[in-house]
Structure 1
Amino acid sequence: MKKPISRILLINDEKLILKEFTKGLNAAAKSMENPLGIVFSGVTTAQEALQSIEQDGDIQGLVVDDRLYTLKHQGKHVRDLQMTALELVQKITHFRPELNIYILVAQEQEDEVVDALFSETVDGYFYREERDYRGMYRILNAQLQEKARTPFYDQLKHYVLMAKDAWHTPGHSSGDSLRDSPWVSDFYEFIGEHIFRADLSVSVPMLDSLMDPAGVIAEAQKIAAQAFGARRTFFATNGTSTANKVIFQTLLAPGNKLLLDRNCHKSVHHGVVLSGAHPVYLDSSVNKKFNIYGPVPKQTLFKAIEEHSDAQALILTNCTYDGLRYDLPPIIAAAHAKGIKVIIDEAWYGFARFHPAFRPTALEAGADYATQSTHKVLSAFSQSSMIHVNDPDFNEHLFRENFNMHTSTSPQYSMIASLDVARKQAMLEGYKLLSRTLELAQEIRAQINSTGVFQVLELPDLLPDEIKHDGIQLDPTKVTVDILRCGFTVEELIRELFERFNIQVEKSTFNTITLLLTIGTTRSKVSRLYDALMRISRENRAPQRLYQTAEIPRFTELKYLPRDAFYCGGELMPLLDEQDKVNSSLNGRVCADQITPYPPGIPVLVPGQVITQAITQYLISMLRSQKHIEVHGIVFDGYLPCLRLLTNSEEKTLKQLDK
């Protein structure tokens, strides 16, 4: 097992004092218990310190002299102030908020320095005159060990190693039901012994309860909140889909108005049904050349906030599946000015806190709630997610009731442990791993472009015209590649990469593929991808004419609350008439289901929405497309595709929404 290196940086402008402190602290580290590999190094200027934390991902903390001077030679030595501790702490915290910072202070200046740094993220103070190196080391070591602690995972591992006989759920009883079976022991061997021994239940009190945490789960969530910059953090084992629904049901009572990006994940739209909210759907921007859907235009958002100042909440997806990032601060400020709570679905952006290239995060931009798919972009197991809360009006009791409504009473404990571990890794080596990921993203872009056939789409290529001046940025870990000149259809290319080169891509449109780089991306994988694309490009296949899927029609009219429409029985009506043509009888009728082509996953219809001929034609074009597209929500009566619609009698019982 590799041993960690944890570098503590000392910053003091007096070289002799710096040398003495560095030597004394390193001697203490060598003579005392040092499981995290703590070593001390020093610099004499604030600028060197900032360069060091940018270049060295192993730096875990800093000891900063309260006043940094520089000597100038002008006939005599004159001490000029380089930078106050306050200024340097602010710069360090802005760049890498996960670092521990201690201040070295003269005793007589203690009150002045502490007052100046009262509102800053400072972990403690040391007196310059004391020279208690062992005492300083103990404190720095303890603080770092606290960050490295994984309360739930540690307790889970401890319990498994206690080897208790299981007279409780689950039924496999630590894997004993599978281990010696002639039929299924191969599953036990494939999955591994510890996954079964760690698959426990609420029957084990020392492992706490996800539904009412008061022990190690509560501790793990508290440390996660500190890591991600939240007031409160909650672990979710049903994915971000459930996390979104929990927040909706906490904030929204039936009939409450909600502003939402129509491009939001389908769980958001399901949350509208469950909460009984009155949604105001905002059309996304669209890049018509590549069929890529982007953020809602800023002016559309500002207009909606003004026109619907009675809205309870606004939800947006940041970043989008393709990596497009909103300029969040002004949008959130506009919403808060009207008393509107802001929820940001950060499913694809849960790592952003740990590298300045990706910030501000939703919480740093002022959001009240952020949901993150920790499993998508950090090292947690699938379905493991987090809910972060910064809402000053947070109703914990109501949140807990809704959380428990959706959470299994038998959560998978290995998933909870993986959230604990993913947080630890992000905190202690997230900056280092993300720096590597950014380097690899830059390399793979250059390599793909060098093929002369495949072309990486950069921000100007991806931006729809209507948001070109909205301050949108691109997450470079999402790499979208134009395949138009490669001679394959997108389905053929994906199959070629999979079957011939053992490469699986994240997603595609009719003329692009998207590659997702994570903290687990390696240079070897980058080399293999480059080799595959270069080999394909050298085959000089003639470009094919690719079938472009139609643009999703703009949102029409919401006639009834989605929940009211969804819970009606409805009737089935075919999309095609007896002559296999568009069924004109659908025009003006109201849909009872959510109809979502995937990709791109944007609902064409939601419950309560009025159907138009353009929508019907679009759905038929999806079903007849040469490119296979799933259309969720269509009901097949034999081979005949149908929609579930409200009946005339059902419509008479529902309250129509104001236009």
Structure 2
Amino acid sequence: MPDLGNLREGQQPLECHVALVSADRQLSHDWVSALNSTAAQHENPFGLKFSAVLPSAAERLLLKDDKLQALIVDAGVEAPGLSAAEELADRLHLVRAQLNVFLVALGCDISVSLRQRFDELFDRREGNFNHMFRLVQAFIAKRASTPFADTLRDYVFSARDAWHTPGHSGGDSLRNSPWVGDFYRFMGEHVFNTDLSVSVQVLDSLLEPHSVIQASQDLAAQTFGARQTFFLTNGTSTANKVVIQQILGGGGKIIVDQACHKSVHHAIVMNRCEPVYLKCTLHPDFGIYGPVRREDIERALEANRDARLLVLTSCTYDGLRYDLRPIIKHAHALGVKVLVDEAWYAHGYFHPLLRPTALECGADYVTQSTHKTLSAFSQASMIHVQDPDFDEFRFRENLNMHASTSPQYAMIASLDVARKQAAMEGYGRLERSLKMVETLRRAVDQTGVFRALTREDLIPAPLANDGIRLDPTKVTVDLSASGYTGKEMQIKLFDQYGIQVEKTTYNTVSVLVTLGSTESKLLRLVHAFKQLAQYPRRSVHPGSSRRLPEFTRLKCLPADAYFAETEELPLMDNGVQAEKHLVGRVSADEIVPYPPGIPVLVPGQEISAQIIQFLQQLLQGQNATEIHGLIFRSDEPLLRVMREQAVTGDLPGKNQPAPRPSIAGEEPSAVNQKKAV
């Protein structure tokens, strides 16, 4: 429970509301009066206050009262009231799934399934309101607990002498140093004294948790609606690799969105998977990768009955998310597991306008970057599991292969705390964020020069009937009428107004509205757009926006290309000359402009003139884009490509045919049928 005796100046005491949902006005009056009287007489660290609401007004209360933390649902005195109470509880769950819900009933004739829907039961003849108050308080306290973060804090404050790793020994190696003491003072005491090791057994083990880390993970599973949840301190990149290895370790066929994060493509190489790439939609005007058409996903599932895993990204970097339920249902009907990368959507479960999430739609595995949209430290992520065939022992072994044996304990604590905040005030925080989004979009549009893109703007025509939704907290601003490119606007906002945006395309900038967005930040951003709108300029960049290149085709397994005999060819080389040597060759590496981390080339993919020209454009000018996978020798960018004989399968010692990789909907070619390396 919170220590209210140590509230800092300006910090508000907690206030938690509990609503009794009942059509019985007499019971409501008696119980609410008794419970509030009890709260006044007992220790009440959460500031519990009880009120009554009619069933018909309960949903409106949930939307209105962000301090509401629990519901007591009265089933009445008639037996049919039990089913009505369950239906009401289900409807309320769709609005705010994190609240504790208790059932008030008469007698003991309650089914197991009904019992599982509620946290606890009260008899309508209950007279011990002290016990009822403590029980409600205990459930809220459990949800508000942070087992690992509390243990870490208590250990640090116990001031133990450190004769173990890490070498800075709680910061003692830096504190009084004339050379690096300034770094200690800049970072702060607790950055160092919370940086501990597995030698401290009271803090549990991330790779083999049994106590406080396991308790925190269990709370996270409950909070996010998963069967099991696992913490990671290596980011969602590692999370994706762990899940793919869990399903396809040693090889097998995987159906995957071509525009998935680069970590998915790395996992395909590492596990020698046979990919069936789904072509994502490319927005012709804004340089944005969209989702895959549902028709293409279903066709690929039907055509590849031996596939074992489908991987989709929802939502995308730009906020586009699938109507997942029918897709997952189709995959499961064919025996295919589903992994959804929700790196950009960890907040989705905590507001009704953002639901349903991938877990609610039936995904077997969901990976989330808790640090991207909630309050965890960078690299802090989670894997949520609800696979009915889940092999936990094997999963832990796969996790151990990728995770560090020296995790950052502050990251684990931040996952614990971010989970608590989402559970206790996620709805209220997101409600404020969504109001800021409305204000920002309206102000941007009112400039008459800039335009906040809507769902309809961002969805390419082929996706018009796929039920694609937009996460409104990701605001993409069209700059076309201003005469500035995305990079130029990014620099202007940073240099002139002290504002750092999330990402850019040729003619857009994107900002994230998060739990940490404030009215003052919003005021400064709106002011910047209004100021810049007064001075639009004639574009010095002729032509349309920079077009994203189409995915070409795979000539062999990505793993075979990556480990093949290769040569390095120049990418720039006066432009035309580079095209002459590179077009038609096979990339041995994953080439990834960053952000957003979506590959332009994957190992085994044929190189086209469009891809070469796109990469050359990214590297030109003063504001060149960061590109992962290129080789630089004497500042000259080079591409690693397979030698010609390697593509035809003539490498020594490689005489076994490999499975044919493919792009969904593509007919097998003669090249595809050749022996792989």
Considering the TM-score relative to the shorter chain, is it more than 0.5? yes
Cα distance per residue 1:284-309 (max 9 Å; x no partner): 10110111111011111111111112
Q: Secondary structure at the match of 1:652?
A: coil
The offset of 1:35, in angstroms, is: 1.1
Is the counterpart of residue 152 in structure 1 residue 148 in structure 2? yes
Cα distance per residue 1:45-78 (max 9 Å; x no partner): 2122211111101111111111399xxxxxxxxx
Is the counterpart of residue 215 in structure 1 residue 208 in structure 2? no
Cα distance per residue 1:478-524 (max 9 Å; x no partner): 00111122243322322221122111111111111101000111112
Is the counterpart of residue 352 in structure 1 residue 317 in structure 2? no
- Identity, in percent, stands at 48
Structure 1 residues 641, 177: closer, same or farther in 2, change over 3 A? closer
Hey, what does 1:18 align to over in structure 2? 28
Is the counterpart of residue 406 in structure 1 residue 416 in structure 2? no
Structure 1 residues 9, 195: closer, same or farther in 2, change over 3 A? same
The offset of 1:642, in angstroms, is: 2.4
- 1:620 pairs, out of 616, 621, 625, with 616
Is the counterpart of residue 32 in structure 1 residue 29 in structure 2? no
Letter in 2 for 1:91: R
Q: Distance in 2 between matches of 1:16 and 1:546?
A: 74
The offset of 1:595, in angstroms, is: 1.6
Letter in 2 for 1:7: H
Letter in 2 for 1:60: Q
Structure 1 residues 580, 461: closer, same or farther in 2, change over 3 A? closer
Contact 2:479 2:486 (8 Å CA) reproduced: yes
Q: Distance in 1 between matches of 2:280 and 2:576?
A: 32
The offset of 1:568, in angstroms, is: 2.6
Q: Distance in 1 between matches of 2:457 and 2:324?
A: 21
Hey, what does 1:553 align to over in structure 2? 549
Contact 2:317 2:596 (8 Å CA) reproduced: no
Q: Distance in 1 between matches of 2:85 and 2:55?
A: 9
The offset of 1:102, in angstroms, is: 0.8
Q: Distance in 2 between matches of 1:207 and 1:472?
A: 43
Letter in 2 for 1:363: L
Is the counterpart of residue 95 in structure 1 residue 105 in structure 2? no
User: How many corresponding residue pairs?
Assistant: 644
Is the counterpart of residue 63 in structure 1 residue 72 in structure 2? yes
Hey, what does 2:517 align to over in structure 1? 521
Cα distance per residue 1:359-385 (max 9 Å; x no partner): 111010000000000000000001000
Structure 1 residues 82, 540: closer, same or farther in 2, change over 3 A? farther
Q: After superposition, where does 1:504-519 map in structure 2 within 5 Å?
A: 504-519=500-515
Hey, what does 1:2 align to over in structure 2? 12
Structure 1 residues 599, 99: closer, same or farther in 2, change over 3 A? closer
The offset of 1:121, in angstroms, is: 2.2
Structure 1 residues 144, 449: closer, same or farther in 2, change over 3 A? same
Letter in 2 for 1:67: G
Q: Which moved more, 1:230-239 or 1:49-58?
A: 49-58
Q: Secondary structure at the match of 1:485?
A: helix
Q: Secondary structure at the match of 1:235?
A: strand
- 1:235 pairs, out of 231, 238, 243, with 231
Q: Distance in 2 between matches of 1:602 and 1:17?
A: 59
Letter in 1 for 2:300: A
The offset of 1:627, in angstroms, is: 5.5
Cα distance per residue 1:98-144 (max 9 Å; x no partner): 1111111123xx31xx2285265201111121221101001001111
Letter in 2 for 1:652: D
Structure 1 residues 527, 124: closer, same or farther in 2, change over 3 A? same
The offset of 1:541, in angstroms, is: 4.0
Contact 1:11 1:65 (8 Å CA) reproduced: yes
Cα distance per residue 1:591-616 (max 9 Å; x no partner): 21112233553322211222344433
The offset of 1:403, in angstroms, is: 0.6
Q: Distance in 2 between matches of 1:204 and 1:254?
A: 36
Contact 1:12 1:68 (8 Å CA) reproduced: no
Contact 2:343 2:369 (8 Å CA) reproduced: yes
Hey, what does 1:77 align to over in structure 2? none
Letter in 1 for 2:65: D
The offset of 1:242, in angstroms, is: 0.6
Q: Distance in 2 between matches of 1:576 and 1:348?
A: 34
Q: Distance in 2 between matches of 1:568 and 1:83?
A: 63
Hey, what does 2:650 align to over in structure 1? 652
Contact 1:86 1:117 (8 Å CA) reproduced: no
Letter in 1 for 2:314: N
Q: Distance in 2 between matches of 1:4 and 1:250?
A: 43
Contact 1:484 1:546 (8 Å CA) reproduced: no
Q: Distance in 2 between matches of 1:625 and 1:605?
A: 22
Contact 1:10 1:42 (8 Å CA) reproduced: yes
Hey, what does 1:319 align to over in structure 2? 315
Q: Distance in 1 between matches of 2:284 and 2:74?
A: 56
Letter in 1 for 2:100: N
Q: Distance in 2 between matches of 1:504 and 1:93?
A: 37
The offset of 1:318, in angstroms, is: 0.4
The offset of 1:539, in angstroms, is: 3.2
Contact 1:68 1:84 (8 Å CA) reproduced: no
- 2:439 pairs, out of 411, 436, 443, with 443
Hey, what does 1:74 align to over in structure 2? none
Output the TM-score relative to the length of structure 2: 0.91
Is the counterpart of residue 253 in structure 1 residue 256 in structure 2? no
Contact 1:509 1:599 (8 Å CA) reproduced: no
Letter in 2 for 1:86: E
Hey, what does 1:202 align to over in structure 2? 198
Q: Distance in 2 between matches of 1:546 and 1:600?
A: 25
Q: Secondary structure at the match of 2:578?
A: coil
Hey, what does 1:305 align to over in structure 2? 301
Letter in 2 for 1:100: N
Is the counterpart of residue 84 in structure 1 residue 84 in structure 2? yes
The offset of 1:542, in angstroms, is: 4.2
Is the counterpart of residue 582 in structure 1 residue 592 in structure 2? no
Contact 1:11 1:64 (8 Å CA) reproduced: yes
Structure 1 residues 131, 224: closer, same or farther in 2, change over 3 A? same
Q: Distance in 1 between matches of 2:384 and 2:269?
A: 23
Unaligned runs of 5+ in 1: 70-79
Q: After superposition, where does 1:200-599 map in structure 2 within 5 Å?
A: 200-542=196-538, 544-545=540-541, 548=544, 550-575=546-571, 581-599=577-595
Contact 1:207 1:217 (8 Å CA) reproduced: yes
Q: Distance in 1 between matches of 2:31 and 2:84?
A: 20
Letter in 1 for 2:24: E
Q: CA RMSD in A?
A: 2.1
Letter in 1 for 2:500: Q
Output the TM-score relative to the length of structure 1: 0.94
Structure 1 residues 533, 617: closer, same or farther in 2, change over 3 A? closer
Q: Secondary structure at the match of 1:52?
A: helix
Contact 2:261 2:599 (8 Å CA) reproduced: no
Structure 1 residues 197, 627: closer, same or farther in 2, change over 3 A? closer
Structure 1 residues 487, 586: closer, same or farther in 2, change over 3 A? closer
The offset of 1:533, in angstroms, is: 1.1
Hey, what does 2:57 align to over in structure 1? 48
Hey, what does 1:73 align to over in structure 2? none
Q: Secondary structure at the match of 1:50?
A: helix
Q: Secondary structure at the match of 1:481?
A: strand
Q: Distance in 2 between matches of 1:38 and 1:297?
A: 49
Letter in 1 for 2:146: T
Contact 1:488 1:543 (8 Å CA) reproduced: yes
